[in-house]
Chain A
């Protein structure tokens, strides 16, 4: 059983949508859509399966912010992209106690987009100066905002 099958089997316990993606066209193998309550269980599963964190970031969409997590494995080709929409209050739980590397990625996502990672031990600006903590520079102007459908492939 390779890494990908083990992950899909582990995800069967979740009420999450899992899509196999064509790596030649999209550059990753699995796409997972989660709710914010599943994020920590998902991270614990990946930790058990020896994945490493590639990045945490966000996409500013209309009406909500979408938080994206990319993981990959040292042991087999299984690049996984997880999508989560933030809660109504713009929050998702932190995974920085499961994958310590997420600490900085979450700080960056917070300062760039204003996503609050609840439970994060040190949510202060990482790249921006302290006085620009409210700038949220990667948020889009309302006129430039797109819906999730208009940035999703038809295929």
Chain B
């Protein structure tokens, strides 16, 4: 379709909802002038399942499996936020062993999410090889997590009061072996193949710059925010679980471009390995779960719980009327706010750079649509 407004001659280009580089079912309507985007308009909702209504039409325990199906790439962290919220409302104390298991498995989940992102992002750039290495490493994590959780993607492993199954020595052994393996691969594979590659650097430097002011106006969180230089991570700023006792850093960038967002995620993987290593060293013995009645009533009132997923801040906000069925459940997902900057971010940008912007934001569309 061609439109002419004033002396501007433009045409409309429809991208998605089934397009390989929109990673899911995102649609973007682009008003174009040649190869330049005049106005990008994201259209979402293709994977909308009205999760919030499901959250208030069954008991709190019945909603737990849904949490792993919002952002399927960091399902365990979504579990964590939800059980954390119920524990906060009911005042349930969680055994220390369970908290450490949660942190170890959550961080493994974060690494697997970042590895998938790394492969897919480079695939968008036209580099086919890195995804093979990234998926090879990710496969190791899936095997480890499959042993303890029984699932490979949509985990539902955490329970209110702990985790549903204890980890054994084999898990600890395999996780330690994985840490060693991944550390050995950062330099010879990811750094030499990608990070230090001049073609890659020239392609991603100084494009899609997010500014701190833009981040604040849109509520951007996660690596996309940290690449602008703001050191904000829920694990540090509003600590939960056993994160306060663990020694790790929050990698940040400065210019907010694609390269820095990439570097933040790669550095985060190394920090996650540090966290896992310390947590394995300190993993206490003892119970892995306290029994909580399945039809436990939630006290009247509201509560909020935030966690840091691989993509940014996830907040559950629940209102209870005193029964075991929540009165209202609001799920604030990071990719929703992160995607909403697209319109401002990609105005007057080249079409090929929009693909980079979408890749760099690391979107998971079923999470946005809920």
| Given A74-B225, A74-B237, 15 additional A-B pairs, CB 8 A | A26-B88, A27-B88, A51-B216, A70-B304, A72-B313, A74-B232, A81-B304, A99-B218, A101-B219, A101-B220, A127-B45, A138-B52, A146-B327, A151-B301, A151-B319
A-chain residues with CB within 8 Å of residue B237 when the two chains form the complex: 74, 76-77
Q: 27 interchain pairs (CB within 8 A)?
A: A25-B88, A26-B302, A27-B317, A52-B217, A52-B218, A53-B337, A54-B313, A59-B319, A70-B304, A70-B315, A72-B313, A74-B230, A74-B232, A76-B237, A81-B304, A100-B218, A100-B340, A101-B219, A101-B341, A104-B337, A125-B45, A126-B45, A129-B45, A151-B300, A154-B300, A154-B301, A155-B301
Binary interface encoding of chain A residues 143-155 relative to chain B, with 1 for a CB under 8 A from any of its CBs, else 0: 0001000111111
Query: B319 and A53: CB pair below 8 A?
Result: no
A104→B300 CA distance, assembly (Å): 30
Residues facing A in B145-182 (CB within 8 A) are none
- Asked whether A128 is an interface residue with its Cβ less than 8 Å from the other chain, the reply is yes
Query: A126 and B44: CB pair below 8 A?
Result: yes
Instruction: Please provide the 6 A-B residue pairs with the shortest distance between their CB atoms, ordered closest to farther.
Output: A153-B301, A27-B304, A101-B218, A127-B45, A55-B332, A101-B219
A52→B338 CA distance, assembly (Å): 12
A100→B85 CA distance, assembly (Å): 28
Query: B321 and A150: CB pair below 8 A?
Result: yes
Task: Please list the residues of chain A having a beta carbon within 8 angstroms of any beta carbon in chain B.
Answer: 23-28, 47, 50-55, 57, 59-60, 68, 70, 72, 74, 76-77, 79, 81, 99-101, 103-104, 112, 125-129, 137-138, 146, 150-155
A114→B11 CA distance, assembly (Å): 34
In the complex formed, the residue of A with least CB distance to B319 is A151
- Asked whether B320 is an interface residue with its Cβ less than 8 Å from the other chain, the reply is yes
A25→B301 CA distance, assembly (Å): 10
A-chain residues with CB within 8 Å of residue B50 when the two chains form the complex: 137
Main secondary structure of the interface of B (DSSP, over half): mixed
In the complex formed, the residue of A with least CB distance to B212 is A74
Query: B337 and A101: CB pair below 8 A?
Result: yes
A104→B303 CA distance, assembly (Å): 23
Smallest CB–CB gap between B274 and chain A, Å? 23
Task: Please list the residues of chain B having a beta carbon within 8 angstroms of any beta carbon in chain A.
Answer: 44-45, 48, 50, 52-53, 85, 88, 91, 215-221, 225, 230, 232, 237-238, 299-306, 313, 315, 317, 319-322, 327-328, 330, 332, 336-337, 340-341, 344, 369-370
In the complex formed, the residue of B with least CB distance to A55 is B332
Query: B88 and A101: CB pair below 8 A?
Result: no
In the complex formed, the residue of B with least CB distance to A28 is B304
In the complex formed, the residue of B with least CB distance to A104 is B340
Query: B216 and A153: CB pair below 8 A?
Result: no
A27→B315 CA distance, assembly (Å): 10
A104→B215 CA distance, assembly (Å): 15
